[in-house]
Structure 1
Amino acid sequence: MELVGVPEHLRVLAESVVAEAEKDPRVVAVIAGGSVASGTSDEYSDLDLVIVCTAEGQPELLAGAEEFAGRVGPLLAAFTGEHVGEPRLLIALFGSPLAHVDLKFVTPDGLRERVEDGVVLWQRDDTVDRVRKESVAEWPQPDAQWIEDRFWVWAHYVAVKIARGELFEAIDALGMIRAAAIAPLAGIGRTTRPAGVRRLETLAPELVPALKETVATADAADCLRALKASVDVYRTVRERVQVVRRTAAEEAVVDFLG
């Protein structure tokens, strides 16, 4: 079995998933996504697999997803992905050696709405090929105006949390601002697969010194400093896009920060 792009430390698990799929008539294909699909996998990569299954078989496969994973290898822990809005997903940890594997059980119709085509590791028939001919993979792209419409509300929210002494809430919110506002704008034109702050150091190395200043400790003065730094970095990356600036909100919040 030739598993194109699957790193060595995940190869045995990938082979086991394919072997289980071949034995189960409800499964029609196994597709690798994530870093395998993008060609960026390394010794630290997880394994993101889409298990394409019949519409009739999907409910049973989802109900028995953990049992399916247990047949694949030494399963240490597993849970479904409702917390990320994806109940079709089983997130699993195998070991030893430790390996993180995501198994998403998708029908052919469900495969039509996808963010990537992925690498087909195995298929029973031409179902995946037909779906790909009839639909297009679309990776969600950032909406700069959506971000600008929200950024100043978020910044004010963080400032109030700092003033109230809710420092860990403020630190979490600063991280959200990096992931939901700064990183998406910084990545425009630099990646077609934006994913929050992931690989931001590589995508925008010139921003790293300024981004370091957006990280705060559990100290009110330091949180306020990091928030002001976040505003500065946001203004920098906003220069790369065309938006209707919420100038009144921007001026009011900057004045509020002092």
Structure 2
Amino acid sequence: MQFPSSLPTLHQEFIEQCLPKLAKDTRIVGVAVSGSYADNSLDIYSDIDLLIAVEPEEFGAIMNDRLSIISNLGEMAAGFTGEHVGEPRVMITLYGPDALHVDFKFVKVDDVTTRVDEPVILWARDSRLAKGLGKGKGQYPPVDPQWIEDRFWVWVHYAGTKIGRGEYFEALEFLSFLRVQVLGSLALQQAGLEARGVRKIEQLLPDFAKELRMTVAVPERESLLNATEHAITIYQNLRNDITECCKAQALAMNYLHKLRNTNTE
């Protein structure tokens, strides 16, 4: 197998030693790799995202056996399922001795047509994996500006209530949510990039990343109000081609204004 010249030794060695082990399981049809490997941006800090295509009729059995399967691929220190990221088919692992993060996504070979990127095939038992990946095109889900606008001002009011009550850490979480789900995603999408929250935004949109710094607060009332107002300004500069929720915006902005003028001493 020919690996990219930029592939770190740690990642290459893991792939080289695990592929023959996976190939011995006749229930596995093929193995592909996605993520930063597929788009040629993998570095020493990257994890490995492996797609394990399996015989459809064996999928249930593989799901039952998958912890055993991946534990035999190296010095696995931890492994768990990905329900917390909305993908129970994924096993998230950490291998020693050099702390390598590897994600395994087990799918029926018939289901590989539905994907968010374009995996690179590392090994295949037959042509089915290639045929499946040859259908359609991997696309990361775009954000819908109107969907965001319909919710944004209610979210802002929610943040205001938490600041007003003194739930400052909850308000900090809200600002993080806005950066990922709204601000970063909209900015990346408008730049013609995938709407992946704030992933690599420092490299992709350095000037915008500087703006985002103004939305980072400390758990104090004044800092949180300032950061929320900066987030609103950034959002208003990003939104376009939508029907604005003027009444909700006015209510939320008035609420923040009252908080500004409320004596908390």
TM-score (norm 1): 0.94
- Tell me the secondary structure at the aligned position of residue 215 of structure 2: coil
Q: Within 5 Å, give how 1:199-210 maps onto structure 2.
A: 199-210=200-211
- Does the alignment pair 1:248 with 2:250? no
Separation of aligned partners in 2, 1:132 and 1:209: 38
Q: 1:193 to 1:19 in 2, by over 3 A?
A: farther
Q: Which residue of 1 aligns with 2:261?
A: none
Q: Which runs of 5+ in 1 are unaligned?
A: none
Contact 2:162 2:168 survives alignment (8 Å): yes
* Number of residues of Structure 1 aligned to a counterpart in Structure 2: 256
Q: CA deviation at 1:253?
A: 1.3
Deviations 1:101-130 (A, max 9, x none): 000111022212111221111111100122
- Does the alignment pair 1:62 with 2:63? yes
* 202-211 or 108-117, larger mean C-alpha shift: 202-211
Contact 2:121 2:130 survives alignment (8 Å): no
Counterpart of 2:135 in structure 1: which amino acid?
E
Separation of aligned partners in 1, 2:55 and 2:28: 6
Deviations 1:203-226 (A, max 9, x none): 222223321110111112211111
Separation of aligned partners in 1, 2:137 and 2:214: 40
- Tell me the secondary structure at the aligned position of residue 188 of structure 1: helix
Q: CA deviation at 1:166?
A: 1.0
Q: Which residue of 2 aligns with 1:133?
A: 134
Q: CA deviation at 1:134?
A: 3.5
Q: CA deviation at 1:133?
A: 3.5
Q: Which residue of 2 aligns with 1:234?
A: 235
Separation of aligned partners in 2, 1:19 and 1:3: 16
Contact 1:190 1:203 survives alignment (8 Å): no
- Does the alignment pair 1:34 with 2:35? yes
Q: Which residue of 2 aligns with 1:83?
A: 84
Separation of aligned partners in 1, 2:156 and 2:169: 15
Separation of aligned partners in 2, 1:245 and 1:181: 15
Contact 1:75 1:94 survives alignment (8 Å): yes
Separation of aligned partners in 2, 1:82 and 1:6: 29
Contact 2:188 2:196 survives alignment (8 Å): no
- Tell me the secondary structure at the aligned position of residue 45 of structure 1: coil
Q: Which residue of 2 aligns with 1:195?
A: 196
Contact 1:21 1:28 survives alignment (8 Å): no
Contact 1:114 1:137 survives alignment (8 Å): yes
Q: 1:221 to 1:48 in 2, by over 3 A?
A: same
Deviations 1:155-206 (A, max 9, x none): 1111101111111111011100111111111012434432111111222222
Separation of aligned partners in 1, 2:208 and 2:23: 47
Separation of aligned partners in 2, 1:242 and 1:8: 47
Percent of aligned positions that are identical: 35
What is the RMSD computed on CA atoms of the aligned residues?
1.5
Separation of aligned partners in 1, 2:88 and 2:225: 38
Q: Which residue of 2 aligns with 1:2?
A: 2
Q: Within 5 Å, give how 1:80-229 maps onto structure 2.
A: 80-229=81-230
- Tell me the secondary structure at the aligned position of residue 134 of structure 2: helix
- Tell me the secondary structure at the aligned position of residue 180 of structure 2: helix
Counterpart of 2:224 in structure 1: which amino acid?
C
* 113-122 or 192-201, larger mean C-alpha shift: 192-201
Deviations 1:28-72 (A, max 9, x none): 111100001111111111000000010122222211222111111
* 81-90 or 94-103, larger mean C-alpha shift: 81-90
Separation of aligned partners in 2, 1:133 and 1:76: 35
- Tell me the secondary structure at the aligned position of residue 217 of structure 2: coil
Separation of aligned partners in 1, 2:222 and 2:27: 58
